[in-house]
Structure 1
């Protein structure tokens, strides 16, 4: 439930893990926040950039990532972390920079790190 003081807040979520359940839950939170009227940016960092490739019988991470972007969330991935893994960004998860992460952190009312 959203109160008047938190209406439209900016939430930043930094995901630094490739643990299926943690990543799945982070995107579920992001979707819920967007649907509640918040502006939400997710930045994938370190092992988090592997999120798009996670396969798991119970936790459909890719589905939640897509639902998050489709709901209006902003999703970015560390370009250096992708390069280290010989990976590239995708259409809905572009390669980004530390400057982009800094912008998310400094412009967000709250920042949550999932590691």
Structure 2
């Protein structure tokens, strides 16, 4: 089983490519990081498309993702979901597995799903 890093206070499973919902998920993650919490975000299903949401000026998801990572947040994407969409991992978001998602869920104090 792969290691998803340290335990998180908050685990966020993002399962949508809706610009506003994805943007708000990362805003929550950044807010929690700034409050001193550790946060892991796992992109699943359509959520793996979040980094590609660039056409929406009001909800700059890629910017929020980069800030989340810069602030120390852990970000991973489902490899199977990426493969189904013929996408690759990015520098900000590496490919992960269901074992990694399980680790996020089991190691987090709280887990929310945004879909």
Q: Shared fold (TM-score greater than 0.5)? A: yes
In 2, distance between residues paired with 1:40 and 1:104? Answer: 9
Q: Does residue 114 of structure 1 match 2:114?
A: yes
Q: Which residue of 1 aligns with 2:5?
A: none
Q: Which residue of 2 aligns with 1:5?
A: none
Give the drift of 1:91: 1.2
Q: Which residue of 2 aligns with 1:47?
A: 46
Q: Which residue of 2 aligns with 1:91?
A: 91
Give the drift of 1:95: 0.3
In 2, distance between residues paired with 1:98 and 1:81? Answer: 11
Q: Which residue of 1 aligns with 2:4?
A: none
The higher radius of gyration belongs to: 1
In 2, distance between residues paired with 1:77 and 1:57? Answer: 23
TM-score normalised over the length of structure 1: 0.91
Structure 1 stretches of 4+ moved >6 Å: none
Give the drift of 1:81: 0.1
Higher relative contact order (CA 8 A, sep 6+): 2
Give the drift of 1:10: 1.1
RMSD of aligned C-alpha atoms? 1.2
| Count of residues in Structure 1 that have an aligned counterpart in Structure 2 | 108
In 2, distance between residues paired with 1:75 and 1:67? Answer: 11
Q: Which residue of 1 aligns with 2:24?
A: 25
Unaligned 5+ residue runs, structure 2? 1-7
Give the drift of 1:109: 0.4
In 2, distance between residues paired with 1:10 and 1:107? Answer: 8
TM-score normalised over the length of structure 2: 0.91
